[in-house]
Structure 1
């Protein structure tokens, strides 16, 4: 497969790439860490700040504006997740979206937690601390070494479900599994996992880290099936940092308790009485805490609208996959480069290792060396590898530049 064959798409008036000053003068592959903020989104944030100050930041005039901002943002994110708005809580990031509902689940001492061996350290640490405090047992769901690729998705799905069946116990009450694994880039069959858990006698809750999903792949089926589906707006959605969301199942709303509590958790934010032991919202708002940055909501909505100008979720994913397949293939052809997957990735995360016989450089040193050339990828620790992300903002020149630089690294240090 040649990098010289262009990927054709119907462009809007201005491509998203052209609206992102952070991409100017750089070859950027770190969308899985943080996406660039388009100028229109920054303008929307600034305009919202100004409007709040014009109305008065704490006046009777400002509350209808703030209420409309919150409601429209909640509704837009709920639509993307395929859930009604009362099941969508606004959060600051993936971690808070995961942890606040997690710690409210009806889990008791002696229960069992099953967490995949490809989860982000922030989620792993939260689960381990919950286990320590509650006296829970924790075991790993092995998915790290499912090599596969996009063409083997059915085999990957079957392997995940088989591993899940083998690891479930009579006391399993929680399963933690990302939608897209942040290190290998494989897609997990979340809806099928949820269906399998519903058949289990203990009906474990399913918590999904969707940090690499929202804005990159269609999420509605998985988000509607999971019990906790937490995402952020600052990665693939190209929104501002500090704003995300979490889709919650009806049974989480019925059975869970609020954890970190503030005025937004309350049905009546003006009072909490000793005579009312249950003053909290009955819906997802019980997991919202207190004052958040309202102008960020305008920025995220604008970024989501800009993504829609690039095509629907399926169309955008197809472009991302064409680019990631091309990058995977070209890297596979470089002597001394070993992609983690046996086939093209299911989405835009392309992880690879360098043969120690081809270079003495450690992954972090490779990242630094490429960064000095304006090429930005990242290194991961588990497994030790390099990761480059393709997005709708990526193009053929980006791929050519990265592959050429990797060839130089392996050739010059051999």
Structure 2
């Protein structure tokens, strides 16, 4: 797969957590789909069966990967819209409390803050950023923090499956089971930006109420296409928020007499026209990943590469990995024990063709390893870091 990605042929790339490289066969699949639509006519009776098949096959493929039935999988443009559109349709009442982890992406946090302002809700913090040890201790720490953070009025918990800053995996299934025992049965919203395409997601996606992901990061698909797995109770209780013709059971006419014109499945959270050719590109990228091994096999490869990088960085003077143990995923975050601003280090490394990123909370540098990452690349990054 590495040889199929032009972006990997002229640089040393560690930013899969921001955006994965698009393989050439995936780009060609997008182009072929676009050509086919134009051949059929972009708005003709001949094109609709083709578009319908593209949408249905993509929905089925993503639903299978998430371990849910297709009617529970809504297509989205990105993680943020996948999180926010169903979130804003949940049944809240004034005084309800939102429990949000201290490792959530600013886009999701901002949406929760604005929701709280409009609906007179209260926001509480779930502290997980300080959990830096092995998986059993992390799981125990999360569950302890959850017990302390839950209140009788907690109505929603927001917790990423794989923390985008520290790289820790969260025990989503255990959290969902605990919330089911709470008198309020709080909804569980999971940002899956860093998990989909990298670690096993089926159990977590099936357990969460909102499990939103994108295809353009670890799945190496095109930007502009993702999905969200929704629980049955979200489909039953959630109201559409941003509304368009795809939300409607009958898109052909505006029925002013209908009190419920919307789909009763995940499509009630889809809006309007999307870029259909992107679907062929994402499916092709998923096929290429499958050729690299099963999901578990790829996860093992990613862990092997990230452990080697973590160990090499841990052995350097002046470098401190955020985690006390090798990461369980491909995210390797670390800090330099001097005053060089992380953004400046990123800039200087980029001048050498080495691409990582800096994060603000906590202030650190992050390198991501994938199945396409080589031992030589990890060595090149480690050597370059010694100069700073």
Q: TM exceeds 0.5?
A: yes
| 1:380 aligned residue (344, 359, 379) | 359
- Rounded to whole Å, the distance in 2 between the matches of 1:211 and 1:244 is 9
Aligned to 1:50: 35
Superposition TM-score, scaled by structure 2 size: 1.00
Give, in angstroms, the shift of residue 159 of structure 1.
Answer: 0.8
> What's the counterpart of residue 300 of structure 2?
318
For residues 61-100 of structure 1, the aligned pairs below 5 Å read 61-100=46-85
Partners of 1:335 and 1:169 in 2: CA distance:
44
Aligned to 1:163, which of 145, 151, 173?
145
- Aligned-residue Cα RMSD (Å) equals 0.5
**Cα deviation per residue 1:171-227 (whole Å; 9 max; x = unaligned)?**
000000000000000000000000000001110000000000110011000000000
In the alignment, what sits opposite 1:27?
Answer: 12
SS in 1 for 2:212: strand
TM-score by structure 1 length?
0.93
* Structure 1 residues 148-191: Cα deviation after superposition (integer angstroms, max 9, x where no partner): 1xxx2111101101100111000000000000000000000000
Q: 1:105 aligns with which of 90, 95, 113?
A: 90
- Secondary structure of the residue that 2:386 maps to in structure 1? helix
Residue in 2 that maps onto 1:175: 157
Match for residue 406 of structure 1 among 373, 385, 388? 385
Of the three residues 361, 367, 380, the one matched with 2:340 is 361
Aligned residue runs from structure 1 range 334-373, under 5 A: 334-356=316-338, 360-373=339-352
Of 208, 222, 234, which aligns to 2:204?
A: 222
1:261-276 counterparts in 2 under 5 A?
261-276=243-258
Asked if 1:279 corresponds to 2:264, the answer is no
Distance 2:34 2:10 in 1: 29
Residue in structure 2 matched with residue 10 of structure 1 by the alignment? none
What is the alpha-carbon distance in structure 1 between the residues aligned to residue 278 and residue 147 of structure 2?
42
SS at the partner of 1:213? coil
Query: In structure 2, what is the equivalent of residue 203 of structure 1?
Result: 185
- Residue 412 of structure 1 corresponds to none
* Residue matched to 1:132: 117
Q: How does 1:386-397 map to 2 (within 5 A)?
A: 386-397=365-376
Shift of 1:353: 0.2
**2 CA distance for matches of 1:384 and 1:241?**
27
CA shift at 1:272, angstroms?
2.3
The alpha carbon displacement at 1:51 in A equals 0.1
- Structure 2 unmatched ranges of 5 or more: none
Please state if 1:232 is matched with 2:243. no
1:32-83 CA-partner distances (Å, limit 9, x unpaired): 0000000000000000000000000000000000000000000000000000
Q: Deviations over 1:258-298 (max 9, x none)?
A: 00000000001112211101000000000000000000000
Equivalent residue of 1:334, what SS?
coil
